[in-house]
Amino acid sequence: MAQLYFLHALGASAREWDEVITGLGDLGDCVALDLPGFGDSADAVLDVAGLVDWFAQQVSARQPQSWAVIGHSMGGKIATLAAARARDGDPDFAGLAAVVLLAASPPAPEPMKEKRRAEMIGWFADGRIGADEAAMFVDANTARRLPKPLRAQAIADVERSGRRAWTGWLERDSREDWQAAAGTLSVPALIVAGGEDGDLGEDAQRRLNLPHYRDARVEVVAGAAHLLPYERPSAVAALIRDHVTPAFARALPAPFVALLASDRVSRRTRAVLTERHAAPPQGKVLSPQQRAVLAALVETVLPGAPDPVDLAARIDAMLTGGIGDGWRSAELPADAEGWTSGLDTLDRLAGGYADAAPADRERCLRSIADGTGDTKGGDLDPRQMRLWFAEARAEIARQWMALPATMARIGYDGFAVGGDGPHKQGYRLTPADTIEDWQRLEARA
């Protein structure tokens, strides 16, 4: 079963997620954690790197094969940096499928007025925060006063906060700048802001968190401020469900992720395969019509491909990045021009290739392959179209075979021949039809 990890805000605990988790039903195995120094955990002072290391231990101990992280406020900074480590091939975070940020602290220094910061630090001058200050903190972070039981719980959690953990976050961790380490992340992200939040509202989320995610959307919850899991738990649960469900649906099979996370795979290889599994960056070479024609071409030459639109987007991204297979026919234009010309000519030859019936698509491609297609008025002549079609078939196959999902589907494990140590495990048994124990992926999971 997929797992969801919940990281709470400053002054809160795992209990802040109770109603959200109830609203998620059977979406997955929900693991709400007490961050060090909060809730039932012992007081501790950890820098941001230490908090991410601590989270890595929590995830690794449970060995999830498909999981999501939901980070609220302080927990959001940890969630983003965990996603960065997953991108960079950290085996502890292999299998991360989605990120949800709620009023999240960004990788950059958190925006906060220094007068307010000093006041909050001063609340712990005597070693623990008083009930009045705890209530002030909760009420200042909600759009309107919480119902009595929830408010009492939120206040009690603030009072349980450890002095070292509280002041450590305010004095150091929230000020640490991790923008370079976070970089750009391809994992799908949902960024949620309270409509009445101050420092970490919609504007801050768009400026400070959104730029770190290539595939993200921002949602604003009306009638809420900063304590979203308490203020609007049903709305938060619905947003999480809508975001995480499709991410889990396209997650890699558990046995494959277990192998990917093993010491037989180097960090570099793991990072490359993790990036390949993510949605491609937005391509800028092909027009919407050309992408539609390309998706139809993929569907025709590679029947059974799970997502022709995705493969078309990957080819567009490849063309945009200028990273091809290293060669082309001298009779064809450069890759970008060759693909746009080939797709336009194919569309014209078929009288609308994307909308053509399967049999008509096949007939059109066969005429191109044997050089009999009438390309008069097209950008490429019959011989050029024949050469382009051969290259197009090869690129479609190359893109498809490079996907981790395809490797998992056909049982390919050739990437798992040696990790980061000096000794590369390789294969011990080479006869045909001989399977080593580590290749039995079902057993690994």
Whichever domain contains 232, its CATH number is 3.40.50.1820
Average pLDDT over residues 423-445: 79
Co-location of 62 and 207 in the same domain: yes
DSSP characters over 86-108: HHTT-GGGTTEEEEEEESPPPSS
Q: Does 228 have pLDDT greater than 60?
A: yes
Co-location of 86 and 67 in the same domain: yes
Q: Which residue has the tokens 């595939």?
A: 215
Burial class (CB in 10 A: 0-12, 13-18, 19+), 276: middle
CA of 141: how far to CAs of 12, 171, 225, 244, 287, in Å?
12, 20, 6, 27, 46
Q: Does 379 have pLDDT greater than 90?
A: no
Co-location of 318 and 373 in the same domain: yes
In percent, how much of the chain has pLDDT > 70? 99
User: How many Å apart are CA 364 and CA 373, to the nearest integer?
Assistant: 7
Reading the block at residue 426, the tokens are 């390789």
User: How many Å apart are CA 231 and CA 101, to the nearest integer?
Assistant: 16
Strand partners, 367: none
Q: Please state the domain count of the chain.
A: 3
- SS3 sequence, 247-304? HHHCCCCHHHHHHHCCCCECHHHHHHHHHHHCCCCCCCCCCHHHHHHHHHHHHHHCCC
Q: Does 264 have pLDDT greater than 80?
A: yes
Co-location of 397 and 433 in the same domain: no
| pLDDT for res 445 | 46
User: How many Å apart are CA 89 and CA 85, to the nearest integer?
Assistant: 6
DSSP characters over 154-214: HHHHHHH--HHHHHHHHHTGGG---HHHH--B-S-EEEEEETT-STTSHHHIIIIIGGGBS
| pLDDT for res 421 | 86
- List Cβ neighbours of 304 (8 Å cut-off, separation of 6 or more): none
**Considering 207, 230, 249, which residue would you say is the last residue of a domain?**
249
Report CA torsion sign: 110, 111, 113, 119: negative
Co-location of 287 and 258 in the same domain: no
More confident residue, 105 or 381: 105
More confident residue, 306 or 408: 408
Co-location of 29 and 141 in the same domain: yes
Q: Assess contact for 141 and 225: CB atoms under 8 A.
A: yes
Co-location of 308 and 422 in the same domain: no
Q: Does 408 have pLDDT greater than 60?
A: yes
Please, which pLDDT band fits residue 327 given cuts at 50, 70 and 90?
confident
CA of 301: how far to CAs of 204, 378, 393, 400, in Å?
46, 22, 7, 12
SS3 state at 5: strand
Please, which pLDDT band fits residue 443 given cuts at 50, 70 and 90?
very low
Report CA torsion sign: 417, 419, 420, 426: negative
User: How many Å apart are CA 75 and CA 14, to the nearest integer?
Assistant: 11
Please, which pLDDT band fits residue 95 given cuts at 50, 70 and 90?
very high
Report CA torsion sign: 240, 242, 248, 250: negative
Half-sphere exposure of 297 (CA within 13 A, CB side): 33
Residue span of the structural domain in which 265 resides: 254-276+413-444
User: How many Å apart are CA 177 and CA 109, to the nearest integer?
Assistant: 5
Strand partners, 216: 189
| pLDDT for res 344 | 95
Please, which pLDDT band fits residue 328 given cuts at 50, 70 and 90?
confident
Which of 91, 441, 89 has its CA nearest to residue 256?
Answer: 441
Co-location of 240 and 262 in the same domain: no
| pLDDT for res 441 | 61
Phi and psi at residue 39, to the nearest 5°: 60, -130
Co-location of 297 and 354 in the same domain: yes
Radius of gyration of the chain (CA): 26
Co-location of 208 and 99 in the same domain: yes
More confident residue, 324 or 348: 348
Q: Does 442 have pLDDT greater than 60?
A: no
Co-location of 263 and 189 in the same domain: no
Burial class (CB in 10 A: 0-12, 13-18, 19+), 112: middle
Co-location of 232 and 341 in the same domain: no
Q: Assess contact for 176 and 47: CB atoms under 8 A.
A: yes
User: How many Å apart are CA 352 and CA 203, to the nearest integer?
Assistant: 44
- The pTM of this model reads 0.92
